[in-house]
Amino acid sequence: MIAITKEFKQLLQEMFNTRGVTEIAADDLVEVLTVNFKELEKLLRDETVRDEFKLLKAKDGSYFVKRFLIERLEGKSMTSTFMIQWDNIGGCPCFICYELDRCNVGNPISSVDCPLFTKWLFSKPKEEEEK
């Protein structure tokens, strides 16, 4: 199963990259991958896939797979060595995010795993960049 999930993950990444999207209808994936819906659900639950791809249900009852891009912080972990300043919210991507109405801790879309918010939160202050 390991080889299958690695191939599955690669195929998903290629499909998303080729189409240039972050969401693909589950029905499209079922058709292209020639698997049934239950098999797709099972493959998306695998630990090598589930951090980047999630099966979500739309308001109309249809299902889609959303890709979450994971940004690495150049080998750094998020520890207390980062200087976080909560008093300055300038440039926060949340204020222009088109997913803001669906964003909430516990939801598939949240600030906890948002790469744009993480990048902004741990970016160097502008004064420091200018030096």
Tokens of 53: 């791809």
What is the band of 68 on the pLDDT scale with cuts at 50, 70, 90? confident
**Tens digits of per-residue pLDDT, 23-63?**
889 999 888 888 889 988 888 888 878 778 888 888 888 89
List of domains in the chain: 2-67 (1.10.10), 74-131 (no CATH)
Residues 6+ apart with CB under 8 A from 74: none
**Tens digits of per-residue pLDDT, 74-131?**
555 444 444 555 555 677 888 778 787 788 877 778 877 788 888 888 876 665 555 5
The pTM for the full model equals 0.51
